[in-house]
Structure 1
Amino acid sequence: MNRPAVDEEDVRRIVREVIASQAATQADRLSNSSTVGKSGRAAVLTAPRTLEIKRFPLRDIRSDEILVKVEACGICGTDIHCYNSDPFGLTPVVLGHEGTGEVLQVGSEVKMDSVGKPVKVGDKIVTSILENSEECMIAKYNPLKSNLCDDLKVYGLLPDEADNHFNGYFGEYLIIRPGSSFFVVNEVSLELRCLIEPAAVVCHAYQRAKDVGMRLNFRARVIVQGCGPIGLLMVAVLRTAGINNIIAIDGNPERLRMAASLGADETLNYKDYGGIDELAAKVESLTKGVGAHAGFQVTGVPQAFANLFKCIRRGGGICEVGHFVDGGECSVNPHHDICRKEITVTGSWVYNSFEYPNAYHFLQRAERIGLPVSSLVTHKFPLDRIQEAFDVNLRQEGVKVMVEI
């Protein structure tokens, strides 16, 4: 068979095309070195209530890592606990786990995110938990409960490393290591991206309540006790899920107004009542005289947990969401509060990585039906003013304080 001749110019053209294609692929995998600095700044918690802006060298990423230019990160209640007392003994540490950023470099071994989306330079990403160790018996035998592993890890709560100080989102860069769960979220706004992590907390709590049989249908009357960022997102997830009777309880009038905008039908300021008996009587008047079907406790105050039992009907349930750290003890009457009423009580502990897609779809759906979840971000500060940002959060001014990097 005669084959067409290939002259020398054709060979040169083919070689040029191959080289150009390889160069384009490499450009997709690794950003131009001129766009990545040799060092970057990070806010380091060096002692309780002491944040220092420091500059660290930025090492080259490895083939199984991703380099991210951080864009913003919300301040979480957990960050505040660490800031106040370093309860986990992490200092010095770069905090920040409600963050997001843009991919600058992608190691050659990394092809896609945790749900199979291709990942490339320029993508917007968020991270979830890191994979658990092989020794964790909980994750090994019940992967759906891997959030209960003692060695659970998230960026922003990782010890400092000699060759990598960019382990939290309160820095200019973040190096995503092997075994991390991360998600490409290009279609989500900056504010919503910073709300995905707390949204995963409330999506997990909602699912926990459903899993133990709490009545969460269109007819259910549900209490959300505590209207901080998590409580307000709890209101929004209940409304988005179709709950039509939501009672929000808090002591801050502005946060109660926001709860109403996010779907609460009734807002009760507990300071307007002479104690739990009066407050419980008001709840009964709003629930046909029998109390709420379910309640989500999101305050982190032990006595508030004890009080919530008085507002729940016989056969109802309580989901405890607010005690991420030990806030102390409270007194519950086992007969009156639990046994006689046959109350279901369950706890909710952070989330699993597979709940992140559910969380960002919830946020998108909430905005689509008119719930202003982005308005939860009430304050924005640059990295240089992060100390001020933490002080505003401590004074409980606004709702979600965001640090833009």
Structure 2
Amino acid sequence: MESSEISRIVHEVLASRGLVGSAPAIPSAEVAHVSGKTGRAAVLAEPRKLEIREFPLREIGPKEILVRVEACGVCGTDVHCYKSDPFGLTPNVLGHEGTGEVLQVGAEVKMDSVGKPVKVGDKVVTSLMETSPDCLIAKYNPAKANLSDDLKVYGLLPDEPNNHFNGYFGEYLIIRPGSSFFVVNDMSVELRCLIEPAAVVCHALERAKSCGGNKLNFRSRVVVQGCGPIGLLMIAVLRTQGVNNIIALDGNSDRLELARSLGADELINYKEYSGIDEIADKVKLLTKGLGAHWGFQVTGVPVAHANLYKLIRRGGGICEVGHFVDGGECAINPHRDICAKEITLVGSWVYNSFEYPNAYHFLQRAERIGLPVTSLITHKFPLERIEEAFQVNLRQEGVKVLVEV
């Protein structure tokens, strides 16, 4: 009997007793049994057309990991790709807010990106992939590697002839050399699926905190404009950082109530006001007549960005988080909106790999202080109903939609 077959049988016995991952490694790779040689994946064949296809599952290399996907959140970026393929990736497998269980570990892979040992049965998430050695941004300023033109993330990769498992909307994912990944065994699958969007808000918070004397602290009055998944997590991360005066602004009353549960002190439904001037008056009423110290723009709507300046006090700051695709332009008045107020304006673009541990600890901290972060997940669909999952997201029903594999 081959050693690989012995390893498979031993692993199955261990798994039946709840001891997956305890089997000793074999020289070529640590291996768990993979049923069959193929796997399903949801392919975005063209805009607005998702197809479940069966693909061969190739052998992994010595620096790779094979993951059985458990679930993945539907991100706004996925929806933009679904609608119009703005990055020119089709056909491809989307899904980057995912997590899964390790099935095989290449012989040269010993630990994750923070030094935790990795083995079969571990639960993992992935972050950014290594940029090209030719990228001068990443070479001379690694802390800004997120600005590289060569930035790569699983779920936003083109299809490859020898590997179709490049996104989490499939049964498997192959983690390739140069990828950052993290073992997160002590989290529920729902919480693991929130690590990626949590990294987005952790990065935005650090961008805002980097602005010299214009600090965020316990007494800061902050407006979060937009209560989608990222906006709601933005409220939660501000609360975990000790910000005690948070104003949530949105047009959906259900999402505003969820914002309250995640740490917002005041709620403003813009549909109840005649325009931005009335909303600005309300914000001033809640901020001693001055306006907010900071605003986080998380809607992805250009006019919302222009409106936010009206809600910020002189000497305040704005962090633009919402525009991950080109949504168009907006009109601002450089004198009134920026110069005369000495506004500090920062942009926030995705995250860096080293911010994943921050996101992990943020989510744990949020749960410890009673913020129901997993309540963001309002819908779950199996892989074969992924088209329905996307339609629910497009209709903005609920908040975070999860695809379970």
| Alpha-carbon displacement from aligned partner over 1:10-49 (angstroms, at most 9, x marks no partner) | xxxxxxxxxx9xx82229942244x342000000000111
SS of structure 2 residue aligned to 1:259: helix
* SS of match in other structure, 2:194: helix
Question: Which residue is 2:80 aligned to?
Answer: 81
What pairs up with 1:2-401 in 2 under 5 angstroms? 24-26=24-26, 29-33=29-33, 35-213=34-212, 214-401=214-401
Letter in 2 for 1:115: V
Taking a change above 3 Å as real, the CA distance of residues 105 and 312 of structure 1, as seen in their structure-2 partners, is: same
Give the equivalent residue in structure 1 for 2:3.
none
Match of 1:14 in 2: none
CA contact (8 A) 1:70 1:99 kept: yes
Q: Structure 2 stretches of 5 or more lacking a match?
A: 1-9, 11-22
CA deviation profile, 1:109-145 (whole Å, cap 9, x unmatched) = 0000000000000000000000110000000000000
The letter for the 2-side match of 1:172 is E
Alignment length, in residue pairs? 383
Q: Which amino acid aligns with 2:382?
A: P
Secondary structure of the residue aligned to 1:366 is helix
Query: For residues 159 and 36 of structure 1, what CA distance do their matches in structure 2 show?
Result: 26
| Higher radius of gyration, 1 or 2 | 1
Report the RMSD for the aligned CA atoms in angstroms. Answer: 1.2
Separation of aligned partners in 2, 1:315 and 1:224: 18
> SS of 1:401's equivalent?
strand
CA contact (8 A) 1:215 1:294 kept: no
Counterpart residue identity of residue 139, structure 2: K
Cα distance in 2 between the residues matched to 1:32 and 1:180: 21
**For residue 135 of structure 1, what is the amino acid of its counterpart?**
D
Moved more, 320-329 or 35-44: 35-44
Return the alpha-carbon distance in structure 2 between the equivalents of residues 383 and 197 of structure 1. 20
Quick one: distance in 1 between partners of 2:171 and 2:370? Answer: 33
How far apart, CA to CA, are the structure 1 residues paired with 2:35 and 2:290? 62
Residues 25-81 of structure 1, C-alpha deviation per residue, up to 9 Å, x if partnerless?
229942244x34200000000011100000000001011100000000000000000
Which whole-Å deviations, capped at 9, do the CAs of 1:262-311 have from their partners, x for residues lacking one?
00000100011010000000000000000000000000000000000000
Poorly superposed stretches of 4+, deviation over 4 Å: none
Question: What is the letter of the counterpart of residue 86 of structure 1?
Answer: D
> Conserved in 2, the CA contact under 8 Å of 1:28 and 1:121?
no
TM-score, normalised with respect to structure 2 = 0.93
Amino acid at match of 2:189: L
On the 8 A contact 1:262/1:372 being kept in 2, the answer is yes
Inter-partner Cα distance in structure 1 for 2:306 and 2:79: 24
Given that residues 27 and 107 in structure 2 are in contact (C-alpha distance below 8 angstroms), is that contact kept between their aligned partners in structure 1?
A: no
What is the letter of the counterpart of residue 190 of structure 2?
E
Contact 1:29 1:107 in 2 (8 A): yes
Asked if the contact 1:70–1:101 (Cα under 8 Å) also holds between the matched residues in 2, the reply is yes
Counterpart Cα distance in 1 of 2:190 and 2:335: 45
- Return the alpha-carbon distance in structure 1 between the equivalents of residues 351 and 58 of structure 2: 31
